[in-house]
Amino acid sequence: MRIIKLNATDSTNLYLKDLMNESSLEDFTFVVADTQTLGRGQMGTVWESEHGKNLTFSVLKKIESEQFNNPFLLNICISLAVYNALHTLGIPNLKVKWPNDILSGHSKICGILIENILSGSRMISSVIGIGLNVNQEKFIGLPNVSSLKLIMGKTFDLEMLLFLFYGELKKSFLEIENKGAGYMKDTYESVLFRKDKPSTFKGTDGNLFMGFIRGVSDQGKLMVTLEDDIQKEFNMKEISLLY
Ligand code: BTN
């Protein structure tokens, strides 16, 4: 494990990707920053974080493409590592909101942005970006966002959390080898937010519709039962879960 600590950068994902172009980096190289001036979220969104209050970091993980022939397995592996790290801390009512938001109750406390780069025909270099809301107390204009401090009523040490995440990420990758993809997927589905509950979704046309989340496909699509028992699979661009 190598840790590169920065006071500020545009985005730790971008920093790590640039560094990978310049030199060969060891597996589990971490880049952690107190501030990101261009923190990036999923689907082109911005990830905001108060200076020095939260954990914003990226990890390089080299993987053999054969091991990850199910493209969603990496996402499952990382989501479960984050889930387990937060579970260890006693954070209540943890769920994974498809594809990889980590919630406590109905509030998002952690976001994950995975960017894969092919290096050769058999290897993938995965840049795993994690933003965890730790000691920030105000999230103006973000009603369904919270932090560990707001939930647990105490301040957390960022360095301790980083090591906790390192351990859980390592464990999660080992678990794929030891227990297999099927086990990982079942575990992921067992902690999926609103699974088997009546839920409201918004489609690409802006219309709302009702359905029940049943799980995820091997491709990572959300499997939903709609009215009249129609089964459908949606990708991230096609659907957003409202409640
Ligand atoms: C999301 O939209 O939920 C994903 C947020 C990911 C944020 C993290 S913070 C560290 C890393 N660097 C970035 O620019 N983004 C990720």
Distance from Cα 117 to the centre of ligand 1, integer Å: 17
79 lines ligand 1 (CB under 6 A): no
Q: Which two tokens stand for residue 88?
A: 């260890």
Q: Of the residues 42, 47, 142, which should be mutated to test ligand 1's pocket, given the most ligand atoms within 8 Å of the CB?
A: 47
Largest CA distance in the chain: 56
pLDDT of 203: 93
pLDDT digits (tens, 9 = 90+) for 131-165: 999 999 999 999 999 999 999 999 999 999 999 99
pLDDT of 163: 97
99 lines ligand 1 (CB under 6 A): no
The chain-wide mean pLDDT, for the chain, equals 95
Interval 189-215 mean pLDDT: 96
Who contacts 228 (Cβ-Cβ below 8 Å, separation ≥6)? none
pLDDT digits (tens, 9 = 90+) for 81-97: 999 999 999 999 999 99
47 lines ligand 1 (CB under 6 A): yes
Distance from Cα 207 to the centre of ligand 1, integer Å: 28
75 lines ligand 1 (CB under 6 A): no
- Cα(241)–Cα(243) distance, rounded to whole angstroms? 6
Q: Where are the alpha helices (DSSP H) in 107-147?
A: none
Strands 239-241 and 231-234: unpaired
172 lines ligand 1 (CB under 6 A): no
Atom of ligand 1 nearest to the CA of 33: 10
- Domain 2-190 CATH superfamily: Bira Bifunctional Protein; Domain 2 (3.30.930.10)
User: Residue ranges per domain, the chain?
Assistant: 2-190, 198-241
pLDDT of 238: 94
Task: Give the other-Cβ count within 10 Å of 24's Cβ.
Answer: 7
Q: Of the residues 49, 51, 113, 169, which should be mutated to test ligand 1's pocket, given the most ligand atoms within 8 Å of the CB?
A: 113
Q: Of the residues 75, 126, 130, 193, which should be mutated to test ligand 1's pocket, given the most ligand atoms within 8 Å of the CB?
A: 130
Assess if CATH 1.10.3470 describes domain 198-241. no
